Amino acid sequence: MELFSFLTLDSFITDPLTHDFMRKALLMSSLVAAVCGFLSSYLTLKGWALMGDAVSHSVMPGVVVAYALGLPFSLGAFIFGVGSVALIGFIKQKSRVKEDTVIGLVFTGFFALGIVLVSKIKSNIDLHSILFGSPLGISLSDVKQTIFISLLVVILLSIFRKDLMLYCFDPRHAKTVGINVFFLHYLLLTCLSLAAVVGLQSVGIILVVAMLITPGATAYLLTDKFDNMTVISVLSAIISSLIGIYVSFWFDLETGGSIVLAQTFIFLFAFLFAPRYGIFKLKKLFVGYK
């Protein structure tokens, strides 16, 4: 917070905090960013960016159906998220169509189904908030759900942190030493679906994949240690969320888009100036950097 006080605009930081909805938005978005950032390390290393895109889009009909039936939207989203992955696996196995094509056609199919359902089911579903997120208008029941899911994902990832790292790095070794690779595969997919569900409240379905890959990609450029990568990923995600929300408040911009843009700028900064892997390798400027 003190980072910005040099702007002499103390009010830049504090003014928004007088609004209840802003405090809630900042807190919830930081939580969601932290969860997505944590998972992001695994997804970028596993090469599941496209999978993240697929799952996050595929939850759309689940959200709509759940709202229509009065169920928790996370339940519907979760079922369709995991369902899409199962369907991708099934079609890939049973046809000669290549995997990226299968992923593309399954998630667009699910997404289209969601849009059609929204237009058919007359309810108070706000399409705009599903597609683009609405961190400023988050309801109390959504807050509870988000906190619950976020804690669940963080606990799962924390317990199986090392196993998941091994699974991403060398699944064959994991299998050879008797670790349940099947379980880890579905654990990661489950966490992905859950993170997509909470992430879509912040930035919406269309951009949630950015929350799941950009922080990890940024961190990957900055370190050669897995633990550091996770920490950097989480921090950059949280900072992006805070910046995005403040900027959108003061300049009246779309919040979800602002958060993702902040992430993209942080990535670009790392891309250009990362000590070892950046284009301009600032290595020499960091005294004692090894």
Binding stretches for other proteins (CB under 8 A): 45, 93, 159, 162-163, 165-166, 168-179, 220, 223-226, 228-229
- Give the residue among 50, 73, 51, 49 at the shortest CA–CA distance from 61: 73
Measure the CA–CA gap between 138 and 135, rounded to whole angstroms.
6
Provide, rounded to whole angstroms, the least separation between the CB of residue 283 and other proteins. Answer: 14
Contacts by residues 44-49 (CB-CB < 8 Å, ≥ 24 positions apart): 44/213, 44/216, 44/217, 44/220, 45/168, 45/169, 45/216, 45/220, 46/167, 46/168, 46/188, 48/188, 48/192, 49/209, 49/212, 49/213
Nearer to other proteins, 148 or 277 (CB): 277
Provide, rounded to whole angstroms, the least separation between the CB of residue 110 and other proteins. Answer: 25
**Residue 225: is it exposed, middle or buried by C-beta count within 10 angstroms (0-12/13-18/19+)?**
exposed
Nearer to other proteins, 64 or 164 (CB): 164
Provide, rounded to whole angstroms, the least separation between the CB of residue 45 and other proteins. Answer: 6
SS3 state of residue 206: coil
Provide, rounded to whole angstroms, the least separation between the CB of residue 176 and other proteins. Answer: 4
Nearer to other proteins, 153 or 174 (CB): 174
Nearer to other proteins, 110 or 160 (CB): 160
Nearer to other proteins, 148 or 226 (CB): 226
Provide, rounded to whole angstroms, the least separation between the CB of residue 106 and other proteins. Answer: 19
Number of H helices, E strands in the chain: 13, 0
Contact 160, 187 (CB under 8 A): yes
Nearer to other proteins, 49 or 68 (CB): 49
**Residue 193: is it exposed, middle or buried by C-beta count within 10 angstroms (0-12/13-18/19+)?**
buried
Contact 36, 199 (CB under 8 A): yes
Provide, rounded to whole angstroms, the least separation between the CB of residue 135 and other proteins. Answer: 31
Provide, rounded to whole angstroms, the least separation between the CB of residue 199 and other proteins. Answer: 23
Please give the structure tokens belonging to residue 89: 């696996």
Nearer to other proteins, 216 or 244 (CB): 216
- Give the residue among 93, 40, 43 at the shortest CA–CA distance from 233: 40
Provide, rounded to whole angstroms, the least separation between the CB of residue 98 and other proteins. Answer: 14
Nearer to other proteins, 11 or 228 (CB): 228
What is the CB neighbour count within 10 angstroms for residue 9?
A: 12
- Give the residue among 212, 166, 207 at the shortest CA–CA distance from 189: 212
